[in-house]
Amino acid sequence: KSNYKEDINATRQSLPAYKSRDALLSMIRENQVSIIIGETGSGKTTQLPQYLYEDGFTSNGKIIGVTQPRRVAAMSVAKRVAQEMDVKIKEEVGYTIRFEDFSSSNTKIKFMTDGILLREALLDNDLDKYSCIMIDEAHERTLNTDVMLGILKDLLQRRKDLKLIITSATMNAMKFSKFFGNAPQFTIPGRTFPVEINYSKHPVSDYVEAAVKQAVNIHMSTSIQSGDILIFMTGQEDVEVTTDTIRERLLELYRKKGDFTSPNDDLEDIEIYPIYSALAPEFQNRIFRKLDISKRKIVIATNIAETSLTIDGIRYVIDCGYSKLKVYNPRIGLDALATTPISLANANQRSGRAGRTAPGVAYRLYTEESVENDMYTSTIPEIQRTNLSNTVLLLKSLGIKNVLCFPFIDMPPIQTLLSSLYELWSIGAIDNFGELTKLGTEMSKLPLQPSLSKILLKSVEFGCSAEMLIIVSMLSIPQIFQRPKGREKESDKERSRFFIAGSDHLTLLNVYLQWKSNRFSTKWCTKCFIQSRSLSKAEDIRKQLLRVMESQNIQLKSIGSNWDVIRHCICTGFSHQAAKLSGLKRYVHLRTGMHTQIHPTSALFGMGDLPPYVIYNELLMTSSEYLVCVTAVDPFWLMESSLLMYDIKKQNAENEYSTG
């Protein structure tokens, strides 16, 4: 045990932040706001909160709050700090992310997502329980970070005793300093090694294949001791495909070379780990494992490994040049995840991962010309490219009358703010004067998107809140149906057994109910090609939301299998996301006139007669636009929300125009 402690201490003291410990603390003591800049891995996230704690910043009974843009990071970093402090998680060190609270009244250092801190600001405007707030990874400029910074700017005037620490990679630091009245900056001196950068000679058409080739090539042509490999991919899907393909390719090679004597031989000198947000926690921590020197690690990551998580020992980086970004198009008023070229700042962060422990090599799977011609210098902040309805609802609940005057560090497009106001008005969260309605106030108290809050609250009137609670919980988790390679037909057939005519929402409800009547069995899930882990997660979320409902006196009522009532209720929250059949298989979006179609995974996809009107939960933009999670609705329900009227008016106007 004492050996372990010595080890931990030695590791902590070897981090670059340690040499600056005293300077950092005195800067924080002397200033209300401090900007701290440092290379990834210098110890900002794990060390600074501990320094503050050791230096007595919690002795007045208040606590240290640290925000992270990502759920995974909040969780992983809290666990690491608890381990370093030799305490149990949920005791002195805790974390809170949406639907998971691992903090307690003993917690002195609390990690959380920035969204959680925003919710806390809603309940306690002055964030009184905190003596220090550290906004970590601020350079990522996530929506919630930006909103939090605006709120803090105001709060610091009222709470002169509150310390704000903003930590950032090197980009953007000046902007934060200016925003907070020229707050002082401190750069943690770090040691980084040069990284040799290689570009692709020709544009790459399949970056998964290119990455696989490159990784296999590095592994076969360098010594294992020369270091580990980190591959940046865009999202869960291509991370998984890359992981599997590298494994297959290497097995094949080893077999050919005759390294394997029996067909059951496995790759012994290599560990291949995927990492992405939705990966189960027990698998996430594997990437930090120290391997025996006879083994090499290949980590395939989303941009989570760009700055949030530091993996030691990386010498080779392979960068596909893309990431998945939430993009909002204010003209059509829709949010979508899109695979987008990264910015130069991201590219440099990614390459930099190779030079932490020794000189490294980065392989960029794009051409040098494309960097000069096509890449932005830095990424456009999320607040300027995403849907703001949740944010606007939050600002309204914080008592901000005119959201156009909120101190945004970068102003979002006015069009986006206006279309969020429109959405909130159309679902009844704000009135004609832009004031929060009673319903809007209730909506803001639920940890859900405005549309989902609306249908959950409305479902009490409709008498179907038990069913709606299940639907909302099921919507909060990714992908529940599996479609394993080689068994597509079989799994599609299983899936279709759950379909409820004309509604993916009801299909989700049906899956849950059947799972329940099979006593939540994992075996049953496997048989039906359903991810049991996702369903358990949905059940967790359902229980958490149930507790929230109880605390807000929202009654639980069941309507059994009266599907029409449930569809009607869903419609009340999605009238701004409605589409009308136009032609054989195509739909047009009611408000914007944009053309779309039903996604092949939908229960409606194969239907002979498609319903004339539908609402949808999500829009997927790939080669064309798809509606994901769709429910057929009665046009009269839409009329109630006056949206169809709008459509009819527009058609009349168009008719007049063409005939006149």
Indicate the residue among 309 and 570 with the shorter CB distance to ligand ADP.
Answer: 309
Q: Shortest gap between Cβ of 104 and ligand ADP (angstroms)? A: 21
Q: Three-class SS of residue 154?
A: helix
Pairing mode, strands 314-319 and 228-232: parallel
Amino acid letter for position 372: E
Tell me: does residue 42 bind Mg ion (CB under 5 A). Answer: no
Q: Shortest gap between Cβ of 379 and ligand ADP (angstroms)? A: 18
Name the DSSP class of 436: B
Q: Which of 305, 294, 318 is nearest to 242 (CA)?
A: 318
Residue 43, binding choice from Mg ion, ligand ADP, none, Cβ under 5 to 8 Å by partner class: ligand ADP
Q: Shortest gap between Cβ of 150 and ligand ADP (angstroms)? A: 24
For binding to ligand ADP (CB under 6 A), which residues are involved? 15, 38, 40-47, 76, 80, 288, 310, 312
Contact yes or no for 75/61 (Cβ under 8 A): no
Name the DSSP class of 83: H
Indicate the residue among 356 and 396 with the shorter CB distance to ligand ADP.
Answer: 356
Indicate the residue among 44 and 576 with the shorter CB distance to ligand ADP.
Answer: 44
Contact yes or no for 364/321 (Cβ under 8 A): yes
The residue range among 44-52, 390-398, 413-421, 597-605 that interacts with Mg ion, by the rule CB under 5 A, is 44-52
DSSP state string for 341-387: EPPHHHHHHHHHGGGSSS-EEEEESS-HHHHHHH--SSPPPGGGTS-
Residue 76, binding choice from Mg ion, ligand ADP, none, Cβ under 5 to 8 Å by partner class: ligand ADP
Q: Shortest gap between Cβ of 3 and ligand ADP (angstroms)? A: 17
b/e per residue, 83-108, with b = 16+ CB within 10 A? ebbebebbebbbbbbbbeebbeeebb
Indicate the residue among 45 and 177 with the shorter CB distance to Mg ion.
Answer: 45
Chain centroid to CA 236:
12
Residue 312, binding choice from Mg ion, ligand ADP, none, Cβ under 5 to 8 Å by partner class: ligand ADP
Tell me: does residue 145 bind Mg ion (CB under 5 A). Answer: no
Residue 520, binding choice from ligand ADP, Mg ion, none, Cβ under 5 to 8 Å by partner class: none
Tell me: does residue 349 bind Mg ion (CB under 5 A). Answer: no
Q: Shortest gap between Cβ of 250 and ligand ADP (angstroms)? A: 26
Residue 46, binding choice from Mg ion, ligand ADP, none, Cβ under 5 to 8 Å by partner class: ligand ADP
Tell me: does residue 47 bind Mg ion (CB under 5 A). Answer: no
Distance (Å, whole) CA 210 – CA 385 = 30
Q: Shortest gap between Cβ of 32 and Mg ion (angstroms)? A: 22
Indicate the residue among 349 and 387 with the shorter CB distance to Mg ion.
Answer: 349
b/e per residue, 465-499, with b = 16+ CB within 10 A? bbbbbbbbbbbbbeebbbeeeeeeeebeebbeebb
Indicate the residue among 70 and 315 with the shorter CB distance to Mg ion.
Answer: 70
Indicate the residue among 21 and 44 with the shorter CB distance to Mg ion.
Answer: 44
Burial of 421 (0-12, 13-18, 19+ CB in 10 A): buried
Q: Shortest gap between Cβ of 42 and ligand ADP (angstroms)? A: 4
In the chain, count H helices and then E strands. 25, 21
Indicate the residue among 15 and 509 with the shorter CB distance to ligand ADP.
Answer: 15
Q: Which residue is nearest to Mg ion (CB)?
A: 45
Residue 38, binding choice from ligand ADP, Mg ion, none, Cβ under 5 to 8 Å by partner class: ligand ADP
Q: Which residue in 20, 34, 42, 45 binds Mg ion (CB under 5 A)?
A: 45
Distance (Å, whole) CA 584 – CA 53 = 65
Q: Shortest gap between Cβ of 19 and Mg ion (angstroms)? A: 17
Indicate the residue among 74 and 197 with the shorter CB distance to ligand ADP.
Answer: 74
Q: What spatial distance separates the first Cα and last Cα of the chain, rounded to whole Å?
A: 88
Which residues lie near Mg ion (CB under 5 A)?
44-45
